[in-house]
Amino acid sequence: MNNKSIWNYDINYNKSNNIKNEVLDILIIGGGITGINIAYQFRNSNKKIALIDKSLIASGITKNTTAKLSYLQPDIIKIDKNKRDEYVKSQIDAVKLFKKIITDNNIECDFKETYSILFTQNNNNINKIKTIANILKNNKINVKRVKNNKILYGIKCLDNYVFNPLKYIDSIIKLIEDKIDIYENVLAKNIKYNNNIYNVDTSSGVIKCKRVILACHYPFFIYPLFFPLKTYIKREYVNAFNIDKNKDYNVINIDKELISIRYYNNYLIYGSNSHKLTSKINYQKNYQKSYEDTKKYFNKIPDYTWMNQDIVPNDYLPFIGRIKDNLYISTAYNAWGMTNSIIGSKIIYDVVNNKYNKYIKLFNPNRNNIKLYLNSFINSFSYIKVYFESLFKKNNPKYIKIKNIYYGIYKDSNNKIHKIRLICPHMKCNLVFNNQEKTWDCPCHGSRFDLDGNIINGPSKTNLKKDE
Ligand SMILES: Cc1cc2nc3c(=O)[nH]c(=O)nc-3n(C[C@H](O)[C@H](O)[C@H](O)COP(=O)(O)OP(=O)(O)OC[C@H]3O[C@@H](n4cnc5c(N)ncnc54)[C@H](O)[C@@H]3O)c2cc1C
């Protein structure tokens, strides 16, 4: 079994981390689908622009996506009633924009029209699906009932798409790299604003620029957004296995136990076992469950098994736009980052250029509403629970306490000892061992570290301490 995603072929752009000494007009931080889409929007703007990534391009959340562009998003029902229509319109515009980029540039990324199905096996959820169908119909999307004796109730709609995200990014890089400087292995650590210039402190020195766009998934600072208070992290497990024939639809359900299916070449990609990061912290067990489910439901042994996590805003709307001064962000897509990153790139482009964009208010990253904070109050109980739960979890690696500090000690297959301090530098949560991928994961905000404490995923911007 392969612990990598199905897209995870080794593209190496060999970008340097030797930053040019100049004042930039725009610095984009993050080279996932968000950063790459934003860079594409600005490609002809005759500005000095650079994009940095702390590791390699497309090595973050994007490499583990399932890459469906779909209107049938179950959480539409959780968005405030008076904002649902506008959100759906933004997704329709996103799909149009995506299609235009693909056709204008003849991008080869296995982009394919499919129809999407949204279904339930639970009587209580039928009305939710009917409500979603009505919202989509109001927005002129052709929605039909699906009649199939394997499901209780379902709808389907056309004009949905699937593609290979890494092939897409590869093509965009080729279109932009002679206009925008791209650097890999450059970690942004801090941002200071002085006399209309940002000084971004990075692992390759200070970068000076007039505007900063955060495309780094989880922001690496807490103030001014207070992001951890308004969002939580959702994790999902994905398995892919060989089938005889590719099909031309994808499927998602609205029930508690996620079922998500799409096809790619001769593979079926099955997403399941979605959970809040603060619950089900025995990550090994979660992997096993989705692996076993694949065997049970499809009678197949997965060729690829992987996991991924995304940021869910407490009011289910992404954070896109100007934070303050000349600092911008696009993130928190609730596992719909293909559409939302493309609409995000257009919003950021318009805001930077003082142009009108009808979605600025909807996704305003500084918005305040009761839902954002009420859910955060509820979530705070799960943070407290997971804090203590992780303290007492003593599975495979050994945990020791020296002078009130917990250390994790892991002996690898070559008998090499890896010892790290078990506190996440971001907000001091206790780390949990992920035995499947041999990583230390923060169950609160999703930072991940390798056995030696090097960051794999933010928001932490520093490695773990090893010894005192
Ligand atoms: C299981 C799963 C399935 C999904 N399937 C779909 C789907 O079918 N359709 C859909 O629309 N969406 C889907 N999503 C959501 C989608 O994959 C994500 O929303 C999207 O990939 C996020 O992209 P990003 O560019 O914002 O983040 P990333 O891809 O993580 O990119 C951020 C980049 O920033 C870099 N970075 C981070 N911090 C720093 C720093 N301090 N300095 C420099 N660089 C930094 C990272 O190295 C990374 O490369 C899915 C999500 C999950 C969890």
Q: pTM of the prediction?
A: 0.96
Q: What is the CA radius of gyration of the chain?
A: 22
Ligand 1, pocket-test mutation among 36, 54, 456, most atoms within 8 A of CB = 54
Geometric angle at alpha carbon 436, from 432 and 438, rounded to 5°: 60
Helix (H) or strand (E) holding 127: helix 126-138
Can you give the pLDDT at residue 180? 97
Q: Is the CB of 379 inside a 6 Å radius of any atom of ligand 1?
A: no
Q: Closest ligand 1 atom to the C-alpha of 162? A: 8
Q: Is the CB of 74 inside a 6 Å radius of any atom of ligand 1?
A: no
Can you give the pLDDT at residue 1? 60
Can you give the pLDDT at residue 395? 55
Ligand 1 mean position to 246 CA, how many Å? 26
Q: Is the CB of 225 inside a 6 Å radius of any atom of ligand 1?
A: no
Does residue 202 contact residue 209 with C-beta atoms inside 8 Å? no
Does residue 272 contact residue 259 with C-beta atoms inside 8 Å? yes
Domains of the chain: 101-162+229-312 (3.30.9.10), 392-457 (2.102.10.10)
Q: Closest ligand 1 atom to the C-alpha of 333? A: 19
Q: Closest ligand 1 atom to the C-alpha of 58? A: 49
Q: Is the CB of 188 inside a 6 Å radius of any atom of ligand 1?
A: yes
Can you give the pLDDT at residue 195? 94
Can you give the pLDDT at residue 10? 74
Low-confidence residues in the chain, pLDDT < 70: 1-2, 390-396, 467-468
Can you give the pLDDT at residue 391? 67
Ligand 1 mean position to 175 CA, how many Å? 21
Give Cβ neighbours of residue 121 (< 8 Å, ≥ 6 apart): 151, 152, 253, 255
pLDDT, one tens digit per residue, over 421-431 is 989 999 988 88
